[in-house]
Amino acid sequence: MAEKAEQKREYRMEELAEEAGITVRTLRFYRERKLIHPPRREGRIAWYDETHLARLRTISALLERGHTLSGIAELAEAFDHGRNVGELLGLGAPTEETPVRLTPEALADYFGDQATPENFAASLELGYLGTDGGEIVHISRRLLDVTAALVREGIPLADVLSAGRRVRAHTDALAELFTDLVLAQGGRTAADLQRLRPLAKSVVEAELSMAMDRRLQAGGGDQGPQRS
């Protein structure tokens, strides 16, 4: 019961400002800039909740990391208009991926100064990021870790996301090919497709491995970036 009471806690403006470590004047400024959602009103009293407090702490953390208020406002707008993670994953759809819940400041820790409004919006559009209530959710732990590793290797996040769009197009085509191959056989069902999906992954992994071998043997590692 105590946990439920804590989750539903509400604050007056002065209380919220104190909890967030800011002044009431700053809180009013953030509200005017639409950096936080409007409060719940009860007569003339404005009530704020834990989602407001979390947003204010996020704003403070991002400001400490050198982000501007304009950039934070764009991040907030993109976040507020992001697709629900259920829409991205498909409610009830089978998946082998593990979603990861992230705060905006945790996302900034992954990508540093490349956690820009533009890259955030691109990730939402691509479907790497979704929202769940007041949280950001990356749809795949594996994709998050690989993306972060590539960025640490010096590849700009914008280029990684651009490549992700191209990979998405190719993998959609591969999934369609394998689905048609399996279901074209009489009596096959979606359950058979799910059971046989490891075979599809093995084929794609082996073919990609051999394709990388061919690129390396052809001196592909010495070529500049290839763009279509």
Which pLDDT score, from 0 to 100, does residue 3 have? 46
Which pLDDT score, from 0 to 100, does residue 97 have? 85
Per-residue pLDDT of the chain (228 residues; tens, 9 = 90+): 444 444 578 999 999 999 999 999 999 999 998 888 899 998 888 999 888 888 888 888 778 877 788 878 877 777 776 666 666 666 556 678 888 888 777 777 888 888 887 888 888 888 888 877 666 889 899 999 999 999 999 999 999 999 999 999 999 999 999 999 999 988 899 899 999 999 999 999 999 999 999 999 988 655 555 554
The most distant pair of C-alpha atoms in the chain lies apart, rounded to whole Å, by: 73
**Does the predicted TM-score (pTM) go above 0.85?**
no
